[in-house]
Structure 1
């Protein structure tokens, strides 16, 4: 790998002051070492050498050092790999220093030799060894970082930012006894233990004694020697409260654990997370360790800091063998953690069928509830464990126990979209209990766009017109109540089609689904709703208007607006005005002109009768379309009078004057006849009239000549 290039001209400490040491984290060990070498050579050589000779010498030396440093680092990396395995948590690894001393130091070539006190220029393959500054007396900054390969580096800089020293961070020397234990040198351990000068109670790190070291590395022979020489340290604890026994169990060192227990280790001493060796053995899923600890009297029902027992940990690992040993030793089935969760609940939550069967076989309560009211069946449905749900239902688990939100397992499965689980729970769930919940699974399936679940529920004869309870309706600002509303507001046309085909009533919500579809501009949904009887002329009780409320959301889309008028929308009410030709009061609006029309932003006038159409159309975001809107409306009315405000709009734009003339009496006879026929027959029965197609199209306001057929 090519070494990073360093400029050999004009290099100074000030240039280094702005370098970010985070850049070094992406360099390899070889590159970092080469960088340090080149900077050292540059600082000592370039300030005194001439241009040509010095550059040639530097280039030659750098090339030589690059080749050698790569070899040196490869050797070091191999050494690190050999010594890095299974480091105890309180022990820092020993790394060889890549800077090796070299006495082969030829003099620097050049016309001007460097001063005597300057460091000589080395052409030896290995760089000179330099001692790092004393951190206690060094005036500057000390930076530490890690290379991409994991090597820790340290850099010393002066206050001006210039680099003084950079090398791998020196590691503390490992104590001989700890090193002998780590490498498995039993003879060395024996010699050191017998040496009167060796203090066996001296830790290498906070609380980490030689006995912990032996337990960690599985050196049972060394452990036996240590305990024979100093029995008192059998239960000594580390900085994290770990005894040698807990360390051995954590590393699944069975022989060491046996040696410790035979030498009086207490099997119930916990670490600072209140984890006992038995709990840790279950966590490590080791039946042999569990058996060993139980044979030495380990307590079975001790709780960890979160209230978990050893049995719950064994259940999570789905280890029936360990569960059986614990029960025989006195473990209790229904102990709960701090959240009220029992082992049975844990098995259902994590999908562990084997241990779930075992617990039920030995008398666990299948319907026990956690602190939030959830049962094992509820939790299995929430997590999508189909095999667990199937088994619990077969064992008559109660599917009608709600959680704290009042939802049943069926609700949760529908919300999650688990069609298979929904099918399992439907027969086990009471529809009367669902009604008492105030919400149907249909609502949740529609809200989350779970179309498969929605279809399954419809086929199971769930009421498609079920409404949310008053309490649940209040949770929504728009006071929605039906599953159809959820599907419409999600713009889920397939779900809307399914619900309508199953008999959903589109007129049950306070704010009608048709208005929602118009606000979304979805003509396909509007068509479905109108075809299934949606009331086009409905108003909003909380925000009354003198005209159909759906017009507020459709006037910007003239094709949609015309479709609603074609299918029975009331156009005549749009021309009713209490002011008539008189001057209208100023319009008061509470919304931004940039926003679309919303029911909460209407002008405030005539509160008893409601908002008038002329006031609605005068809203700044609508008035620009006033002419075309009035023009469309005139096709659906007979003799009408335009109020002064509508006249103002038509006078505001020259091209709209013909619309005003269109409204002037008398209206065409064909128009009056069309209106009369539609009033007598109705829009839905037009197709059944024995009339020519052209006449039917005329009655439907489709712009075609009567002479076409």
Structure 2
């Protein structure tokens, strides 16, 4: 088997030969090539770092170029990489390597790190090398010896004229255009003219020369970007002035409908904005998504550009294709100063996007308290109600407690419910703000809402069930103290006993707390089979699915306590659960299945004896007193002039130490 031989380029170029083959014998040819590329790219990066370490001189910044940016000497520049015609690899890292057959290959790594299939390296045209260095004399000699080289394109369709414009070689441009002036508007495969390349590279002398020689300033590239658009993108003020001076169309749009003004506004360049408007640029022209320059300014937080556009007549209430206004977008992106400016110019805060949300909704969702405070006075409560969702819902859903507090203080209804259409968007058919807070286990928001008057029994699925399932005793306590129904059930998963018991079977202190507050324990012992044999157990859905809504409840039968306590996840707790429940009932009869559970474990025999009627008179008296007083009065038993032992007895606290 032949040994693959891969040359790794770099300062210490290495060749993998037979001595290294044992290390790489498992690699395929493609993997070896990729390994070579990895080494090549690593060497390229090391070279770049070394160049910086050697204090490469800096040059004055060109318009649109970052200050202090390193500019390699002209003689070190390389021609544009030989990109595959099918893909634009601008910004990709290029590297070269040699295959075992001696073929020089070139590969690219995209910005996201992925590799592109290597291709044979294109030999650099001698004329391009001369253009790169600006050697006019040699260029003239090459043109005389080989005139056809002027019209020979590269793989990307680049001619010598494009190269001269790209590298800013004005004298070379002059030589080439004197020979063939008709090439001045020739395009590459990406529809780039020499003028567009010169503008994109900030080569102002070349731009001026090409315009003077008659270059068309409105020929766009494949993305329909004109030289004027590129000049605004580069923030090159002088190039913008030159192009407009030579008749460039100021309102021409790119493939997505953006104009030069969109681009200037996006960069907050007021000088260019003023030049464009003076040249006839329309301040409210939309792109293909209905986005105007004003919308761009609001979206990106360009306050100066926003004021400029408003001053020049831009409509502050214009809407994008999705119905969003500039105010909506500013709220979405938390641009406070933009919101302030728009509201000062009478921007309408009651224009909803297609989704029905107002700027106040999106501000509450994003959690910007200051913007919410600005919007509350100018937002119609009727429009909020018409939207089918309160900003309170969105603040609670995203745990934005500061915004929630601000909205409550402003008087928004804490018992507002979602419209049926919006409620259907949630699997559990949630409706109230309180449900959102409890579902997120947000104790502070739950307390805030309950103190403000939120009623805990409005949802299809009671928030108490969610809190019990989460095991958060603090939330459960708050909900119960504010009137939550401790006997609530799940409409789509009916049980013969309270569903709250089903969710806290493994957490006996919480079960006891619910029973102390009126949870119906007696229903757990009402079995339709009694002492008769029970049918085989059915498979139950996971408790995680118990709060899911389903419209088809016709085939669902009620689940009994003895069936639920027999499930694999609970049956080991059956004895202690029954023991606690027996403290809250009088004379009851255990069904055959519950007796079977108590017989399965020797230590549970005491619990079985405890259940045998008649129950002790003390227990029956306690149940009678509870029935007469009621839950509300029992909560005040500590204030009665009764012996402490009797109070503990009435509150079932004589077994508290044992349970904890």
Q: TM-score range by the shorter chain?
A: 0.7 to 0.9
User: CA offset at residue 497 of structure 1?
Assistant: 1.5
The alignment status of 1:692 with 2:636, answered yes or no, reads: no
SS in 2 for 1:153: strand
The alignment status of 1:633 with 2:584, answered yes or no, reads: no
In structure 2, distance between residues paired with 1:362 and 1:503: 49
Assess if the C-alpha contact under 8 Å between 2:170 and 2:206 holds in 1. yes
Cα displacement string for residues 441-469 of structure 1 (whole angstroms, at most 9, x for unaligned residues): 11111111112221222222211111111
Q: Please name the residue that 1:653 is paired with.
A: 601
In structure 2, distance between residues paired with 1:561 and 1:337: 61
Assess if the C-alpha contact under 8 Å between 2:200 and 2:230 holds in 1. yes
Aligned length: 595
User: CA offset at residue 14 of structure 1?
Assistant: 8.7
Q: Which moved more, 1:637-646 or 1:228-237?
A: 637-646
Q: Please name the residue that 1:155 is paired with.
A: 99
The alignment status of 1:229 with 2:179, answered yes or no, reads: yes
In structure 1, distance between residues paired with 2:473 and 2:16: 70
The alignment status of 1:330 with 2:280, answered yes or no, reads: yes
Matching of residues 161-240 of structure 1 within 5 Å: 174-190=124-140, 192=142, 195=144, 197-199=146-148, 201-203=150-152, 205-206=154-155, 207-240=157-190
Structure 1 residues 601, 644: CA separation in 2 closer, same or farther (over 3 Å shift)?
A: farther
The alignment status of 1:411 with 2:361, answered yes or no, reads: yes
Q: Please name the residue that 1:676 is paired with.
A: 624
Which structure's CA Rg is the greater one?
A: 1
In structure 2, distance between residues paired with 1:289 and 1:310: 13
Q: In structure 1, list runs of 5 or more residues that go unmatched.
A: 33-76, 93-148, 158-163
Matching of residues 462-473 of structure 1 within 5 Å: 462-473=412-423
Assess if the C-alpha contact under 8 Å between 1:90 and 1:205 holds in 2. no
Matching of residues 579-590 of structure 1 within 5 Å: 579-590=529-540
SS in 2 for 1:156: coil
Assess if the C-alpha contact under 8 Å between 2:331 and 2:363 holds in 1. yes
Q: Please name the residue that 1:95 is paired with.
A: none
In structure 2, distance between residues paired with 1:320 and 1:172: 44
SS in 2 for 1:524: helix
In structure 2, distance between residues paired with 1:211 and 1:28: 31
- Equivalent position to 1:259, from 200, 206, 209: 209
Assess if the C-alpha contact under 8 Å between 2:266 and 2:302 holds in 1. yes
In structure 1, distance between residues paired with 2:270 and 2:613: 92
Structure 1 residues 248, 514: CA separation in 2 closer, same or farther (over 3 Å shift)?
A: same
TM-score by structure 1 length?
A: 0.76
SS in 1 for 2:635: helix
Assess if the C-alpha contact under 8 Å between 2:294 and 2:316 holds in 1. yes
Assess if the C-alpha contact under 8 Å between 1:367 and 1:397 holds in 2. yes
In structure 2, distance between residues paired with 1:651 and 1:190: 107
Matching of residues 518-529 of structure 1 within 5 Å: 518-529=468-479
Q: Please name the residue that 2:339 is paired with.
A: 389
Assess if the C-alpha contact under 8 Å between 1:414 and 1:450 holds in 2. yes
User: CA offset at residue 568 of structure 1?
Assistant: 1.7
In structure 2, distance between residues paired with 1:399 and 1:30: 54
Assess if the C-alpha contact under 8 Å between 1:400 and 1:408 holds in 2. yes
- Equivalent position to 2:450, from 481, 485, 500: 500
Q: Please name the residue that 2:66 is paired with.
A: none
In structure 2, distance between residues paired with 1:616 and 1:473: 30
User: CA offset at residue 581 of structure 1?
Assistant: 3.4
Q: Please name the residue that 2:241 is paired with.
A: 291
Q: Note the aligned Cα RMSD (angstroms).
A: 3.7
SS in 1 for 2:97: strand
SS in 1 for 2:99: strand
Structure 1 residues 241, 601: CA separation in 2 closer, same or farther (over 3 Å shift)?
A: closer
Assess if the C-alpha contact under 8 Å between 2:493 and 2:556 holds in 1. no
Q: Please name the residue that 2:570 is paired with.
A: 622
In structure 1, distance between residues paired with 2:193 and 2:16: 56
Q: Please name the residue that 1:89 is paired with.
A: 80
User: CA offset at residue 6 of structure 1?
Assistant: 9.8
Assess if the C-alpha contact under 8 Å between 2:220 and 2:227 holds in 1. yes
User: CA offset at residue 251 of structure 1?
Assistant: 1.0
In structure 2, distance between residues paired with 1:476 and 1:268: 52
Assess if the C-alpha contact under 8 Å between 1:479 and 1:510 holds in 2. yes
The alignment status of 1:250 with 2:200, answered yes or no, reads: yes
Q: Please name the residue that 1:72 is paired with.
A: none
TM-score by structure 2 length?
A: 0.82
Q: Which moved more, 1:238-247 or 1:536-545?
A: 536-545
User: CA offset at residue 609 of structure 1?
Assistant: 8.7
User: CA offset at residue 577 of structure 1?
Assistant: 3.1
The alignment status of 1:568 with 2:568, answered yes or no, reads: no
Q: Please name the residue that 2:60 is paired with.
A: none
Q: In structure 2, list runs of 5 or more residues that go unmatched.
A: 1-9, 45-55, 57-70, 84-92, 108-119
User: CA offset at residue 626 of structure 1?
Assistant: 2.0
Matching of residues 550-565 of structure 1 within 5 Å: 550-565=500-515
Q: Which moved more, 1:582-591 or 1:428-437?
A: 582-591
User: CA offset at residue 692 of structure 1?
Assistant: 2.8
User: CA offset at residue 652 of structure 1?
Assistant: 3.2
User: CA offset at residue 534 of structure 1?
Assistant: 1.2
In structure 1, distance between residues paired with 2:344 and 2:410: 20
User: CA offset at residue 28 of structure 1?
Assistant: 7.3
Q: Which moved more, 1:668-677 or 1:506-515?
A: 668-677
Assess if the C-alpha contact under 8 Å between 1:571 and 1:636 holds in 2. yes
In structure 2, distance between residues paired with 1:570 and 1:30: 72
User: CA offset at residue 204 of structure 1?
Assistant: 5.3
Assess if the C-alpha contact under 8 Å between 1:258 and 1:292 holds in 2. yes
Structure 1 residues 4, 248: CA separation in 2 closer, same or farther (over 3 Å shift)?
A: closer
Q: Which moved more, 1:625-634 or 1:681-690?
A: 681-690
User: CA offset at residue 674 of structure 1?
Assistant: 2.1
Q: Please name the residue that 2:411 is paired with.
A: 461
Cα displacement string for residues 231-271 of structure 1 (whole angstroms, at most 9, x for unaligned residues): 11111112211111111111112221111111111111111
Q: Please name the residue that 2:435 is paired with.
A: 485
Q: Which moved more, 1:639-648 or 1:445-454?
A: 639-648
SS in 2 for 1:550: helix
SS in 2 for 1:152: strand
